[in-house]
Amino acid sequence: MATATKTQQAPILNTNEPDKEETKTIYSIEDFNLWYGNDQALYEVQMDIPENRVTAIIGPSGCGKSTFIKSLNRMVELVPSVKMSGKIQYKEKDIFDPKYKVEDLRTDVGMVFQNPNPFPKSIYENVVYGPKTHGIKKKSILNEIVEKSLRGAALWDEVKDRLNENAFGLSGGQQQRLCIARCLAIEPDVILMDEPTSALDPISTSKIEELVQTLKKDYSIAIVTHNMQQAARISDKTAFFLNGEVIEYNNTDNLFSNPDDRRTEDYITGRFG
């Protein structure tokens, strides 16, 4: 007699070492609400983001992940109808304080987007774009920045002999690492990543995942991802968003192995989303 077998979900494994050290908080978010016109997209968000760690933001489509991450460097305000209330502190500075210039915030906090978006310029010019905007002109310094940033983004060896070629000649995965290099060139402390691998093949994805693990030694990283295995593989903390609320925020291994909230459990076991 045939025995019925239950379809089993692959277990989500977190291979990160448990966080034993005390970490500093780089972002502190309190009672943060955001509206697009009259539609509220974020509700009473309360979260501390740790320094030199990877924090994943997960949740179903439309739950406010991108809105949240774009609030952290005030990019969300490019939408004219946006209104906000509550507090976001970056290194104990109020990011909405008029004395803290948005340009300075965005120098401290770089961003990498879903689709690789290099400028239609050479690889070299892509990397030096930010530093040049900040007034750095000396060729020897720019050369150093290019090498350091491309090495930091694990791209140097692949492109060092064709720095003057157009960035559009690179593969999608290389273009995304170039965008990371462009971000590193402005020497941020934080890197925000909005689904950085969703347009990439599995090999390019795993390169970016490895890179994220390396980068956290020097940077604090917040990453939006639809891919729960990815969140489990690369993050130290995970926040689960649903309908604009943070339902659960915990160490990644706890959140995936022993969620506190039924809705988190339903989401990570694939019952919805």
Ligand X SMILES: Nc1ncnc2c1ncn2[C@@H]1O[C@H](COP(=O)(O)OP(=O)(O)OP(=O)(O)O)[C@@H](O)[C@H]1O
In whole angstroms, how close is the CB of 123 to ligand X at the nearest point?
Answer: 29
Choose one: 7-15, 22-30, 55-63, 102-110; the region binding ligand X (CB under 6 A). Answer: 55-63
In the stretch 177-206, what mask flags binding to ligand X with x, by CB under 6 A?
------------------------------
SS3 letters for the chain? CCCCCCCCCCCCCCCCCCCCCCCCEEEEEEEEEEEECCEEEEEEEEEEEECCCEEEEECCCCCCHHHHHHHHCCHHHHCCCEEEEEEEEECCEECCCCCCCHHHHHHHEEEECCCCCCCCCEHHHHHHHHHHHCCCCCHHHHHHHHHHHHHHCCCHHHHCCCCCCEHHHCCHHHHHHHHHHHHHCCCCCEEEEECCCCCCCHHHHHHHHHHHHHHCCCCEEEEECCCHHHHHHHCCEEEEEECCEEEEEEEHHHHHHCCCCHHHHHHHCCCCC
Does 64 participate in binding ligand X (rule CB under 6 A)?
yes
In whole angstroms, how close is the CB of 21 to ligand X at the nearest point?
Answer: 31
Does 230 participate in binding ligand X (rule CB under 6 A)?
no
In whole angstroms, how close is the CB of 241 to ligand X at the nearest point?
Answer: 7
Does 100 participate in binding ligand X (rule CB under 6 A)?
no
Cα of first residue to Cα of last residue in the chain, in angstroms, is 36
Burial of residue 175 (CB within 10 Å: 0-12, 13-18, 19+) is buried
In whole angstroms, how close is the CB of 235 to ligand X at the nearest point?
Answer: 16
Q: Which is nearer to ligand X, 45 or 255 (CB)?
A: 45
* Torsion sign across C-alpha atoms 90, 15, 67, 181: positive
Q: Which is nearer to ligand X, 72 or 185 (CB)?
A: 72
Q: Which is nearer to ligand X, 63 or 215 (CB)?
A: 63
| Amino acid type, 84 | M
Choose one: 64-72, 124-132, 185-193, 204-212; the region binding ligand X (CB under 6 A). Answer: 64-72
In whole angstroms, how close is the CB of 168 to ligand X at the nearest point?
Answer: 25
Q: Which is nearer to ligand X, 66 or 175 (CB)?
A: 66
Choose one: 58-66, 170-178, 184-192, 211-219; the region binding ligand X (CB under 6 A). Answer: 58-66
In whole angstroms, how close is the CB of 82 to ligand X at the nearest point?
Answer: 8
In whole angstroms, how close is the CB of 72 to ligand X at the nearest point?
Answer: 12
Does 5 participate in binding ligand X (rule CB under 6 A)?
no
With CB under 6 A as the contact rule, the residue among 24, 30, 62, 201 that binds ligand X is 62
Does 67 participate in binding ligand X (rule CB under 6 A)?
yes
Does 36 participate in binding ligand X (rule CB under 6 A)?
yes
Q: Which 8-state DSSP code applies to residue 6?
A: -
Chain residues that interact with ligand X, rule: CB under 6 A: 36, 41, 59, 61-67, 79
